[in-house]
Amino acid sequence: MKTIKLKIDGIETEAEDRTTILSIAQRLGIKIPNLCHHPLLEPYGVCRICTVEVKSGTRTRMVTACNYPATNGIEVLTNSPRVRRNRKMIVEWMMAQCGHVKILKDMAAEYDISKPRFGRGTDDCILCGLCVRVCSDVVGANVLGFFNRGATREVSTAFGETSEKCIACGACAWICPTTHLKMENEKLERFRTLPGSERLCRYSLMGVTKGALCANSFQCWKCEVEQRFHDQLQTHPIFLGRSRKIKEIDAYVSQLNEMRG
Amino acid sequence: MPRVSIEDLKKIRGNGKPGVSSKKFRAKVLVCAGTGCISGNSYKTAKALETEIEKQGLAQQVQVVKTGCQGFCAEGPIVIVQPDGIFYRGVGPKHAPKMIEEHLLNGKPVEKLMYTLPGQEHPIPLLKEIPFFAKQKLVVLRNRGAIDPEKIDDYIAADGYKALEKALTLMTPEQILSEIKKSGLRGRGGGGFPAGIKWESCRRAAQHRHVDPVLVCNADEGDPGAFMDRSIIESDPHAVLEGMIIGARAIGCKEGFVYIRHEYPVARERLSKAIEQARDYGLLGKNILDSGVDFDIEVVRGAGAFVCGESTALMASLEGNLGEPRAKYIHTVEYGYKNRPTNLNNVETWANVPVIINNGSKWFASMGTGEVTENPWEGSSGTKVFSLVGKVHNTGLIEVPMGITLREIVFNIGGGIPDGHQFKAVQTGGPSGGCLPESLLDMPVDFDSLTEAGSMMGSGGMIVMDDQTCMVEVARYFISFLTEESCGKCVPCREGLTSSLEILDRITQGKGSEEDLELLEEIAEVMRDCCFCALGTSASNPVLSTIRYFKKEYEAHIKDHQCPAGVCRELIEYDIDPEKCDGCHACVPACSVHAITGEVKELHTLDKTECIKCGACIEVCKRQAILKCPRSFAA
Amino acid sequence: MVDTAKVDEILRRHNSKRENIIAILLDCQEHYDYLPREVLEEVSSNIGVSVTSVLSIATFFRTFSLKPIGRFPIRVCNGTACNIKGSNQLVEALERDLNIKKGQTTPNLQFGLDTVNCVGCCGLAPVITVGEDVHGKAKISSTRKIIKRYRAMEKKHAESVH
């Protein structure tokens, strides 16, 4: 693959042709804020807060760093006055819906927003789509989706109901940047009422372990297995599928089941 | 019907041009059957005319032809008699006996049904002398009103599929690309991107990637106030098909789609019929005219989403996904429909192609502005179809050479502003365009001049506005329209439109402030920088252009709490003019809240506290005695 | 309970292909007058697409409705030409005549009222459509006549059937 030369905030660097500006910047330790991005998901480019200035020849464009493919000779400005002015208004727009969400309040502090010009809404879903994307692209359950359009756009399950297809992997709650999505204990009842042989540990349902049964009555937040996964894997297991590390935990869960009968 | 050969096509052409001369009939009665005139019972009129013709024993001499949109919607339903070239307006089924007996049998055209210029005494019998038509130049609409769009033989006899013959048998794909490039044809859907360059990029990408390219015709026509594509398809669907097949040959496509909006049932039906007929004749399908070229077209329906007029959203919708746009950093000519190289063009762009191939790129480039043969960006060649609508006498569909002035369009062709009102603005480019004031009436209409003035060509909607149109309300309307149509995916569009609408709502209610205008401009800049697609980046154009040219109106709303045009309800009140009211009493039953009282033949009174300003009384008052006055606010 | 037999016929006509989902839903809505939940679920299980995706599409595109649109759906065009010629006032007149608000249907499901973003008959603005019938140059004073006409049409049809 071709190597290209470019400048970011005055720093000259090289990269593989068509790498995104965001990944090049991250490699250089330059922080570009982003709210709908996750390294393990395809870039979505909807929050627009990663918009940066790109100069190519005589032409200046404003592009989103998360999905813009860098080309040879471009000069990128990640923190110019124009970029900051745009970011400020985007944060104010998001606060008009979600005025009390922590990540937005943190950004508001950085961009000197003491009184958001469009008000402070009380919603806590920023419509970043991370939950929808993880559920469809990684888990494959397709339970969460976007409904309606425009200002009435919302994230939900079909008809607002818990779907049979949901495997309660918790990836959506894990990836949600606000407190909007939470796992609800009562909703896990449907797993507890299953006959013995079907009470698969949800990591089995995720395809991460093979056939291990739940040893903890689906109180996942208390479960040793859960804890072990997070300690060893440093991320949500749904992203890793099968790997060597998982086989150890597989064995461990089987042992637990044998012990508890 | 069996496949046709080139010889067969020549034979069909030998039967004479339909609609004007004919070897079989001495006269043709052409009844407009576009959606507009259909709503005026033109199908029934056609039937009544046929019945009369039978009755008078003229069935072997006179033919009734149902044609597509004639263009002069204000005067519909329309009937034209050829070869006399007589234009009849406002024709209903009840006029059939008189028309057939007097004109067709006795040779005396019916004056009562002819068009008369407002204020004139005598009618203008000939179509070509009527100002609405005289200044137009029909290239795309060459067959309008002259052929039956549901008969493929009519199209062929009017030199149809001749360009296809040439393109398949006498030209290489490279030669076709060269001709389209040299013609300077720029996208008629609004983007104005040179078609030849787009085609070439798509062909190259397909060859480079070894993937079959796809052809798309964008018939979604979402711009409110625009109906060019609907009319083209209803009048001459084969022109679009022929253009697409030639394009398929040039680019190397075997598969094509027409994405047509759900709200156009007549157009969709005619298009499907035309495709079936073309397939029957072997002009679509395998080995077209024995050239070895395979190409077929599928019609796909939209479902009510303006955003699907945006090419990446359209392609997403074609794939069965939500009509959400995709990042433009990846060009659709390389990765489009199902990640295949895709060439998308508008209906009008496709309809230009056969004529360019037949008459040559030089002929096309000689019309319009600029010098485009070397560089298509250097001008605007050819013609443009516009829907001339709103507060103008002659509303309808027109086609004019690029470079004609706004004044000629509005006043010569359009006949000026009706009911004694004054011209205020003309809006072009739909929700991505702007409003142009009186001071710009002499500007040439072409891609670059319109963009420089703060508007854009767009798909061709041209809405005329008068002193009774509030420009602040127009800006609010466009933002409100886009708020409904935004896909909602990206923050700046979804929230930028919401915040702009909130501000404009307040201004039209008399609750605006000076800072609001600055804020609207800043919102516009951020939206232009950051929105995902062109719906968002151009959404502020109507707002910005009205602030630029009509700032005084904004200031009247903000500082004086007044709406000079008398539109914004919070700022006006209704009142009865004692000098004009003659007590005819028509307003009283029209009022649903009983706000008007009075005895017959005596001055009536209006209770302003009850009045809901619904407009029902103003509509029925024959003396124009009910006025919209500035509201008197309590101290 | 909704009879979903027709859905299978529609699905067959479109080869149960995922990319034809809009056409499938349009045909379903034409038959059922709206998109009942059972229909969406049947489509979902048949073309192998999640109910979430089908419902996403049904709520994204404005032509679709999850509630009955009425046997005579009345749409007031809100295109630019129609708007500056008073489409808002036509909507209000129809709201008064039918005693419903925009977006609603009459209790007997005879009429539904909503706006539509451009039917492309701008030369005849302002325009009202009832089903596929176009009524151009519409006036506040003629809205009641239009409603009467369709009521009479339906009555006549019902009488002729019996």
- The 10s digit of each residue's pLDDT in C15-55 is 999 999 999 999 999 999 999 999 999 999 999 999 999 99
**String of DSSP letters for B59-86:** TTTEEEEEES--S-GGG-S-EEEETTTE
A126, A118, A83: which is closest to A102 by C-alpha? A126
Q: Are residues B120 and B166 in the same domain?
A: no
Q: Are residues C156 and C79 in the same domain?
A: yes
B165, B61, B149: which is closest to B105 by C-alpha? B61
| For range B560-586, the mean pLDDT | 95
Distances (CA, A) of B453 to A150, B308, B521: 30, 27, 17
DSSP code, position A41: S
Distance CA A245, CA A77 (A): 41
Å from C70 to nearest chain A CA? 21
Task: Indicate the Cα dihedral angle B113, B117, B119, B123, nearest 10°.
Answer: -40
Tokens 């004007």 appear where? B20
Distance CA A72, CA A68 (A): 13
* pLDDT tens string B494-548: 999 999 999 999 999 999 999 999 999 999 999 999 999 999 999 999 999 999 9
Residue of B329, B489, B499 with shortest CB distance to A67? B329
Token pair, residue A181, equals 């999505």
Q: Are residues C83 and C105 in the same domain?
A: yes
Asked whether the bond before B437 is cis by omega within 30 degrees of 0, the reply is: no
Between residues B24 and A44, the one the model is more confident about: A44
Q: Does C55 touch chain A (CB under 8 A)?
A: yes
Burial readout B356-369 (b: 16 or more C-beta within 10 A, e: otherwise): bbeeebeebbebbb
Confidence label for B45 from pLDDT (cuts 50, 70 and 90): very high
> Which three-class secondary structure state does DSSP give residue B88?
strand
Q: Are residues C52 and C89 in the same domain?
A: no
Largest separation between any pair of C-alpha atoms in chain C: 51
CB-CB neighbors (< 8 A) of C135 in chain B: 39
Helices (H), B551-600: 551-559, 587-590
> Which three-class secondary structure state does DSSP give residue B174?
helix
* pLDDT tens string B260-303: 999 999 999 999 999 999 999 999 999 999 999 999 999 999 99
Q: Are residues C140 and C82 in the same domain?
A: yes
Q: Are residues B163 and B256 in the same domain?
A: yes
Q: Are residues B72 and B111 in the same domain?
A: yes
> Is there a contact between B367 and B401 (Cβ–Cβ < 8 Å)?
yes
Backbone angles phi, psi at B329, to 5 degrees: -70, -20
Domain covering A3-79, topology:
Ubiquitin-like (UB roll) (3.10.20)
Type of residue found at B486: S
Here the ipTM equals 0.95
Q: Are residues B112 and B212 in the same domain?
A: no
Distance CA B470, CA B109 (A): 44
* Chain B: partners with 3+ C-beta pairs within 8 Å: A, C
Q: Are residues C79 and C53 in the same domain?
A: no
C117, C148, C114, C144: which is closest to C131 by C-alpha? C114
Q: Check which CATH number belongs to the domain holding B413 and give it.
A: 3.10.20.600
Confidence label for B580 from pLDDT (cuts 50, 70 and 90): very high
Token pair, residue A37, equals 């991005």
Residue of A47, A49, A150 with shortest CB distance to B486? A150
A118 pLDDT higher than 60: yes
* pLDDT tens string B293-310: 999 999 999 999 999 999
* pLDDT tens string B354-391: 999 999 999 999 999 999 988 999 999 999 999 999 99
Could you tell me the residue range of the domain that residue C29 belongs to?
Answer: 5-60
- Find the range with the poorest average confidence among B230-234, B309-313, C157-161: C157-161
Evaluate the CA torsion angle C4, C5, C9, C12 in order and state its sign: positive
Tokens 């397939």 appear where? B279
User: Could you tell me where in chain A the CATH 3.10.20.740 domains are found?
Assistant: 3-79
| Cβ-based contacts under 8 A for chains B and C | 158
Test the B interface: residue of C84, C114, C134, C141 with most B CBs within 10 Å: C84
In a domain, B504, yes or no: yes
In a domain, B396, yes or no: yes
- Three-state SS for B491-530 is HHHHHHHHHHHHHHHHHHCCCCCHHHHHHHHHHHHHHHHH
Distances (CA, A) of A148 to A66, A106, B18, B325: 26, 30, 49, 16
Token pair, residue B320, equals 């069965």
Distance CA B564, CA B498 (A): 26
B635 pLDDT higher than 50: no
The fraction of chain B above a pLDDT of 70, given in percent, is 98
Stretch (H or E) spanning B275? helix B265-280
> Is there a contact between B388 and B464 (Cβ–Cβ < 8 Å)?
yes
Q: Are residues C115 and C85 in the same domain?
A: yes
Confidence label for A245 from pLDDT (cuts 50, 70 and 90): low
pLDDT at A191: 84
Single pTM value for the model: 0.94
* pLDDT tens string B593-605: 999 999 999 999 9
Q: Are residues B325 and B178 in the same domain?
A: yes
Other C-beta atoms lying within 10 Å of the C-beta of residue B381 = 29
Token pair, residue C64, equals 């679709």
Q: Are residues B213 and B326 in the same domain?
A: yes
Q: Are residues B24 and B74 in the same domain?
A: yes
Token pair, residue B452, equals 């420089």
In a domain, C119, yes or no: yes
pLDDT at A149: 95
In a domain, C107, yes or no: yes
Q: Are residues B527 and B576 in the same domain?
A: no
A242 pLDDT higher than 60: no
Q: Does C119 touch chain B (CB under 8 A)?
A: yes
Q: Check which CATH number belongs to the domain holding C156 and give it.
A: 3.40.30.10
In a domain, C113, yes or no: yes
Distance CA B327, CA B336 (A): 11
Stretch (H or E) spanning B6? helix B6-13
> Which three-class secondary structure state does DSSP give residue B253?
coil
Please provide the average confidence, as pLDDT, over all residues in chain B.
Answer: 94
In a domain, C66, yes or no: no
Distance CA B465, CA C84 (A): 8
CB-CB neighbors (< 8 A) of C136 in chain B: 36, 39-40
Q: What angle do the packed helices B347-359 and B162-169 form, to 10 degrees?
A: 70
Domain final residue pick, B98, B131, B164: B131
CB-CB neighbors (< 8 A) of C80 in chain B: 224-225, 389-390, 427, 430, 461, 463, 477-478
Q: Are residues C43 and C77 in the same domain?
A: no
Å from B261 to nearest chain C CA? 9
Are A151 and B502 a contacting pair at CB < 8 A?
Answer: no
Other C-beta atoms lying within 10 Å of the C-beta of residue B624 = 11
* pLDDT tens string B428-450: 999 999 999 999 999 999 999 99
Helices (H), B292-414: 311-318, 347-359, 361-365, 406-407
Please provide the average confidence, as pLDDT, over all residues in chain A.
Answer: 88
How many separate domains does chain B show?
5
Distance CA A22, CA A67 (A): 8
A219 pLDDT higher than 50: yes
Token pair, residue A232, equals 């060893």
Could you tell me the residue range of the domain that residue B576 belongs to?
Answer: 569-630
Q: Are residues C55 and C79 in the same domain?
A: no
pLDDT at B278: 97
Between residues B635 and A77, the one the model is more confident about: A77
Q: Are residues C55 and C125 in the same domain?
A: no
CB-CB neighbors (< 8 A) of A93 in chain B: 491-492, 495-496, 499
**String of DSSP letters for B376-407:** GGGEEESEEEEEEEESSSS-EEEEEETT-BHH
Q: Does B169 touch chain A (CB under 8 A)?
A: no
Q: Are residues B214 and B241 in the same domain?
A: yes
Q: Are residues B196 and B261 in the same domain?
A: yes
B349 pLDDT higher than 80: yes
pLDDT at A259: 66
DSSP code, position C24: H
CB-CB neighbors (< 8 A) of B502 in chain A: 118
Q: Are residues C104 and C149 in the same domain?
A: yes
Q: Are residues B160 and B229 in the same domain?
A: yes
How many separate domains does chain C show?
2
B174 pLDDT higher than 50: yes
C159 pLDDT higher than 60: yes
CA A53 to chain centroid, in Å, comes to 25
Test the C interface: residue of A142, A148, A157 with most C CBs within 10 Å: A142
Strand ranges inside chain A, DSSP E: 3-8, 11-16, 51-56, 59-64, 75-77, 144-147, 154-157
B221, B545, B185, B270: which is closest to B397 by C-alpha? B221
In a domain, C87, yes or no: yes
| For range B578-590, the mean pLDDT | 94
Helices (H) and strands (E) in chain A, counts: 9, 7
Tokens 């044809």 appear where? B185
Q: Are residues C48 and C77 in the same domain?
A: no
Q: Are residues B28 and B91 in the same domain?
A: yes
B331 pLDDT higher than 80: yes
Residue of B305, B491, B502 with shortest CB distance to A46? B491
Q: Check which CATH number belongs to the domain holding B62 and give it.
A: 3.40.30.10
Residues 6+ apart with CB under 8 A from B622: B584, B586
pLDDT at A258: 74
Test the B interface: residue of A82, A93, A115, A153 with most B CBs within 10 Å: A93
In a domain, C10, yes or no: yes
